[in-house]
Amino acid sequence: MLKHSSIRRIKEVLDKGFKYLPDREIYVFNEEIITDEMTDKFFDLDMEVDDYHYRWLSRAFERIQSEIEDMNSLEDIDMDDIRDSIFEEIEPDCYTANLTAWLNTKPSRVYYITEVLEEFGEFRDGFQLLAMAQQQEIEEVYNMGIEFIRWLIEKEIEESEEEEEEI
Check residue 24 and give its pLDDT: 81
Check residue 129 and give its pLDDT: 94
Which residues share a beta bridge with 28? 19
**Distance set, CA 42 to CA 17, 45, 63, 147, 163 (Å):** 12, 7, 18, 9, 25
Check residue 39 and give its pLDDT: 73
Contact between residue 134 and residue 93 where contact means Cβ atoms under 8 Å apart: yes
> SS3 sequence, the chain?
CCCCCECHHHHHHHHHCEEEECCCCEEEECCCCCCHHHHHHHCCCCCCCCHHHHHHHHHHHHHHHHHHCCCCEHHHCCHHHHHHHHHHCCCCCCCHHHHHHHHHHCHHHHHHHHHHHHHHCCCCCHHHHHHHHHHHHHHHHHHHHHHHHHHHHHHHHHHHHHHHHHC
List the chain residues with pLDDT less than 70.
1-5, 42-47, 164, 167
**Distance set, CA 96 to CA 53, 87, 136 (Å):** 19, 22, 16
The model carries a pTM of: 0.83
Check residue 2 and give its pLDDT: 42
